[in-house]
Amino acid sequence: MSTPEAPHALWVAYGESGVVGSIKRDESGYTVTMAGADAVAGTYPSMEVAKNALHARMTPGSSWPQFREH
């Protein structure tokens, strides 16, 4: 049995060199913002799609980041 996610939640993605981005959940979906960016990278229908989108925007060859809910 899974636990429901909060309607508004934030996950921070940590790579080998520190924070690489974040994913915010709201009524629109899961919004990806890369660290240091002035604009969002996109909004996606699920957490898994958002995680993949964030990883795809990292430097090629980067390891999968660790996601921590805040």
For residue 5, the model assigns a pLDDT of: 55
CA distances from 61 to 16, 34, 55, 65 (A): 12, 17, 10, 12
H helices of the chain, in order, are: 47-56
Specify if 60 maps to a domain.
Answer: yes
Across the strands, what pairs with 21? 13, 34
For residue 8, the model assigns a pLDDT of: 81
Specify if 35 maps to a domain.
Answer: yes
Q: pLDDT tens digits for the chain (70 residues)? A: 454 555 689 999 999 999 999 999 999 999 999 999 999 999 999 999 999 999 999 999 999 999 999 9
Q: Write 49-54 long-range contacts (CB < 8 A, 24+).
A: 50/23, 51/13, 51/23, 54/13, 54/20, 54/21, 54/23
How many domains, in total, are found in the chain? Answer: 1
Specify if 1 maps to a domain.
Answer: no
Half-sphere exposure of 35 (CA within 13 A, CB side): 14
Specify if 42 maps to a domain.
Answer: yes
For residue 6, the model assigns a pLDDT of: 58
Domain encompassing residue 42: 9-69
Specify if 4 maps to a domain.
Answer: no
